[in-house]
Structure 1
Amino acid sequence: MADQREILTDKSIARLSAGEKQYKVRDSELPGFFVLVGKRRKTFMAQGEFWRDGVREFTAQVKLGEFGDITTRQARAGAKEALGSIAKGQRPGEAPTIKGGSISLRQAWERYRDAHMERKGRNSGTIANYRDHMERLFKDWLDNPLARLGRQPNLVVQRHDKITKENGPYIANGAMRSLRAIYNHARKSNTDLPAANPVSAIDWNKEHRRNTGMGPNDISSWLKELYALDNPLRREFHLMTLLSGSRPTALKLVRMEHIELRRRLIHIPKPKGGEEKAFDIPLSRPMIRCIIRAIRWGRIMYPKQRKFWLFPADSERGHLVEHKEDRNVLSKWGNDLRQSYRTLAQAAGVSELDIHLLMNHSLPGVNAGYITRDRLLRDHLRQQQQRISELVVQNLDARRDPLLVRWLGSAKVVEPAAEAEPESQSESLSMAA
């Protein structure tokens, strides 16, 4: 039977006859309000299209009550309220939260930051990258429902294109990786989010590994650039970055108690990946000389801060914060030097596995997981470190590069006796410096 349409009143509904099949009588004054007539009951209903963010999801129906239990006037008032909620994008019977009844991007980001990243000890630099992506590149989305992106992945595609154009392809890809991780994390506790991650809709920008590392023949000219820097502590910082292959962020946070000259180690308690990835860097002789020079310059330049940090500075934190240099002054710094270390290690004949251990990379293969790194530190890995460091200084000529030779060989390193008892850390560093 086709739906009927008339002004619904108590009298008009009382006259409706029951039928073998259910049929609807729609109110001619209030669209979406109708009575469903069955064999035994006449039920007041409200029906509306459920939209969110311009996308029609489904048709929602709300049961208002049975004729006889409530009046038509009461049912009409309930219908107006239900239809108003549906028009606002709220599911019938769902308590309103934010616009659209879903977790916002800001809430999802804060939960991911607090419950996932900080709780698992993620590096402060990693957290800062996520914060930059969320609070700068997605700032205008923060208070919008995260579900909107799931239902309209074209918005994510458009934003990826926009960031690519304005900020570059690498930053655009990085921002989308952050958004993808936050969405996946939020969906674990918000089942109303669409299952498909909207980031899957983008076409990723092609990324090329930056081949900015130096080979053995490039080191001499770079050392001359480095020696010309005005700040001797920054000079030692960049040299230590090359000699250790360390990430610059980890070196900036080296405290005096992390240095064990007697054991010829620097402890990195919280590298990229968090405390679970903590490791020790074995020290070659050139690295020890670099540390000693840094300690001496720290005493002169920053007497207060040098008590705590290997690379002190006049900053709020007390240590070196910004390591970038003018490329016209120093052509290679930061991760350029980490790539250079990897290249020099290969040139020195160091095995792939040892390079992974020295750079604290994840070990490839199942069998490599059985290697106990600490057992290799004292002799084997330190010897490999020495081979890499020697490539940095071996091509220097005392007649051609007297200043560089004097700089890199100016501190005498006294090898501790194997059976000697280790002194306190403060005494050891005091003697060395």
Structure 2
Amino acid sequence: MADNRQLLTDKAIARLPYATDKQYKVRDTELPGFFVLVGKKKKTFMAQGEFWRDGVREFAAQVKLGECGDVTTREARSKAKVEIGSIARGERPGEEQKIKPGAVTLRKAWERYRDGHMVRKGRDARTIENYRDHMERLFEDWLDKPLAKLGRQPKLVAERHDKISEENGPYIANGAMRSLRAVYNHARKTNPDLPPVNPVTAIDWNTEQRRDTGMGTGDMASWFAELTALTNPIRREFHLMTLLTGSRPTALKNVRIEHIDFRSRLLHIPKPKGGVKKAFDIPLSRPMIRCILRAMRTGRILYPDQAEFWLFPADSDSGHLIEHKEERDVLSKWGNDLRQSYRTLAQAAGVSELDIHLLMNHSLPGVNAGYITRDSLLRDHLRKQQERISKVIIDSAKGKDEGPDLGWLHQAKVATLPVLPDEELKAAA
């Protein structure tokens, strides 16, 4: 009997004759994709939809809804609507059940990347937290899906990038996709059956502009006036130290007293961005040492217990400064603004591009630069360059006109450098 169409009801189906030769279909006139498959001994409710995979349309996406008699037509029609909707979203019926036990899901791939790669290699806790936010918040509904599905359907990834861009912003969308790309590439190492092309290649990246928030010499006087007006002396010294070192704020907040070597005039950063393998020493200029001594002296007065361990102590669970942000109408530049300012002011001081890279612990450009031994330059050449940068900063703070009272900058003066007598250190602190 040829396939036909009619409104499917319990009574209409009961009147359908069983097949005498081949099975035949009776399609519902009310719900496209819903039909009854009639055989020689039974009648079965079915749903069918157009399924797309890798840009190719397939017509074999069918799902069994139940036997007539065991399931009413009304119940079957309701199930059919759900199944047809799932197929339209790119979910092939039964695909989840066909996944082999132990097949990698996005959750498993993320956990392996986190523990086996990021934690093992000593990645910064904030970096790991950013990845966790991307994977467990922005991709939460994908966590228990097979990673191979994303590999086969990159369109899903492109659509998610568009959605995150619209709802959360272009920078977060790009960052989330970088995280997904890294997790997928890592999973491919132990799951060679995954599609070889990373699905993130399907997206059109959002344009990102480098934030141009650095200050020049002409901005120093007004910024130092804002800095002087801060009521918390520890926060004031923290912001000044950020500018003088060009350091990332997170690294400075975690500086312990034991990291400061006054005799060698070095500040050790044991775990910067990139982890312990990127640990480095910052050569200290005279203004930087004065800043450290003022912070130590004030810390011992305000937070005596915490100041035994931390350069910038605070009444927090960790014992050190946690939040460094200020209201912009109180302090217009802070955090990475000051890191950019350091880079700008270093150029104004006539410091070479290579020396700036070394002082800021950036990767060195070019092949020949890889032969430079940073430690051999620290105690002489790089310290002189640091002094030049600090001098430009402090001299610019005065401005052309009569500016704010900057007497606090010259407290804890250091008379003998590079070696500081213990007595002088104790007196200054």
Q: 2:215 and 2:367 mapped to 1: Cα distance?
A: 32
Q: Which moved more, 1:123-132 or 1:348-357?
A: 123-132
Structure 2 counterparts to residues 140-151 of structure 1, below 5 A: 140-151=141-152
Q: How does 1:322-341 map to 2 (within 5 A)?
A: 322-341=323-342
CA contact (8 A) 2:285 2:386 kept: yes
1:218–1:402 distance in 2 versus 1, CA, 3 Å: closer
The aligned counterpart of 1:217 is: 218
Identity %: 70
Query: Separation in 2 of the partners of 1:263 and 1:363?
Result: 24
How far did residue 416 of structure 1 move? 4.3
- Residues 332/190 of structure 1: CA separation in 2 closer, same or farther (3 Å cut): same
Counterpart CA distance in 2 for 1:259 and 1:411 is: 16
Q: Distance in 2 between matches of 1:272 and 1:313?
A: 23
| Residue aligning to 1:122 | 123
Q: Following TM superposition, by how much is the alpha carbon of 1:411 offset from its aligned partner in structure 2, in angstroms?
A: 1.6
Task: Please tell me whether the aligned partners of residues 151 and 195 of structure 2 are also in contact (alpha carbons under 8 angstroms).
Answer: yes
2:374 counterpart residue number: 373
C-alpha separation in 2, matches of 1:55 and 1:301? 69
Structure 1 pair 157–366 and aligned structure 2 pair: CA distance change class (3 A) = same
**Distance change (3 Å), C-alpha of 1:88 and 1:309:** same
**Alpha-carbon offset, residue 430 of structure 1:** 3.3
SS state of the match for residue 280, structure 1?
strand
Q: Is the 8 A contact 2:249 2:335 kept in 1?
A: yes
Q: How much has 1:155 moved relative to structure 2? A: 1.6
- CA separation of 1:401/1:57 partners in 2, compared to 1, >3 Å: closer, same or farther? same
- C-alpha separation between the residues in 1 aligned to 2:393 and 2:172? 33
Deviation of 1:133 after TM superposition, in Å, equals: 1.2
Distance 1:221 1:350 in 2: 24
In the other structure, the counterpart of 1:290 is 291
Is 1:400 the equivalent of 2:406?
no
Q: Residues 157 and 310 from structure 1, CA distance in 2 versus in 1: closer, same or farther, beyond 3 angstroms?
A: same
Separation (CA, whole Å) in 1 of partners of 2:241 and 2:104: 46
Q: Which residue is 2:300 aligned to?
A: 299
Say yes or no: does 1:88 pair with 2:94: yes
The whole-number CA distance in structure 2 between the counterparts of 1:95 and 1:28 is 35
SS of the residue corresponding to residue 188 of structure 1 reads helix
Asked if the contact 1:51/1:57 (under 8 Å) is kept, the reply is yes
The runs of 5 or more residues in structure 2 that have no matched partner are 1-19, 23-38, 44-50, 61-91
**Conserved in 2, the CA contact under 8 Å of 1:105 and 1:142?**
yes
User: Residue by residue, what CA displacement relative to the aligned partner does 1:209-229 show, whole Å, maximum 9, x if unpaired?
Assistant: 111000011011001111111
- Tell me the SS of whatever aligns to 1:403: coil
Return the alpha-carbon distance in structure 2 between the equivalents of residues 224 and 386 of structure 1: 22
Do residues 253 (structure 1) and 258 (structure 2) align?
A: no
Contact 1:183–1:197, Cα closer than 8 Å, also in 2: yes
What amino acid is the match of 1:334?
G
For the Cα contact (< 8 Å) 1:220–1:396, is it kept in 2? Answer: yes
Letter in 2 for 1:401: G
Q: Which residue of 2 aligns with 1:71?
A: none
**Residues 261, 428 of structure 1: 8 Å contact kept:** no
| Residue deviations 1:197-246 (CA, integer Å, cap 9, x gap) | 11111100011111100001101100111111121111111110000000
Query: Is the alpha carbon distance of 1:54 and 1:87 closer, same or farther for their aligned partners in structure 2, counting shifts above 3 Å?
Result: farther
Determine the C-alpha separation between the residues in 2 that align with 1:233 and 1:413.
Answer: 19
C-alpha deviation, 1:320, in angstroms: 1.0
Superposed displacement of residue 128, structure 1: 1.5
Q: Secondary structure at the match of 2:267?
A: strand
**Matching of residue 152 in structure 1 with residue 160 in structure 2:** no
Cα-to-partner distance string for 1:80-124 (whole Å, 9 max, x where unaligned): xxxxxx9622687x7434xxxx32212111111100011011111
User: What secondary structure is seen at the aligned counterpart in 2 of 1:394?
Assistant: helix
Distance 2:210 2:94 in 1: 48
In 1: Cα distance, 2:93 partner to 2:138 partner? 31
Q: 2:412, 2:428 within 8 Å by CA — same for their partners in 1?
A: no
Structure 2 matches for 1:169-318, cutoff 5 A? 169-318=170-319
RMSD across aligned positions (CA): 3.1
Q: Is the 8 A contact 1:52 1:148 kept in 2?
A: no
Q: CA deviation at 1:54?
A: 12
Unaligned residue ranges in structure 1 (runs of 5+)? 8-26, 32-49, 60-85
Distance 2:96 2:157 in 1: 23
Distance between the aligned counterparts of 2:97 and 2:396, measured in 1? 74
| Compared CA separation, residues 90 and 166, structure 1 to 2 (3 A) | closer
Equivalent residue letter for 2:94: K
Q: For the residues of structure 2 that align with 1:417 and 1:191, how far apart are their CA atoms?
A: 57
Against the structure 1 CA distance between its residues 431 and 372, is the aligned structure 2 distance closer, same or farther, given a 3 Å change threshold? farther
Deviation of 1:55 after TM superposition, in Å, equals 8.8
The residue type paired with residue 353 of structure 1 is: L
- Distance apart, 1:184 and its partner CA: 0.7
Q: How does 1:105-120 map onto structure 2 within 5 Å?
A: 105-120=106-121
Is 2:264–2:418's contact at 8 Å kept on the other side of the alignment? no
Distance 1:150 1:319 in 2: 44
Q: Please tell me whether the aligned partners of residues 265 and 418 of structure 2 are also in contact (alpha carbons under 8 angstroms).
A: no
Q: Quote the residue 2:416 is aligned against.
A: 415
Equivalent residues of 2:263, 2:418 under 8 A apart: no
Letter in 2 for 1:386: E
Residue identity in the other structure for 1:225 = E
Normalising by structure 2, report the TM-score: 0.76
Distance 1:271 1:105, change over 3 A: same
Counterparts of 2:312 and 2:122, CA distance in 1: 23
Q: In 1, Cα distance between the equivalents of 2:53 and 2:179?
A: 25
Separation in structure 1 between the aligned mates of residue 53 and residue 305 of structure 2, nearest angstrom: 59
Aligned in 2, Cα 1:368/1:54: closer, same or farther, shift over 3 Å?
closer
- CA, structure 1 residues 147+55, in 2 after alignment: closer, same or farther (shift >3 Å)? farther
Aligned to 1:46: none
Counterpart residue identity of residue 405, structure 2: L
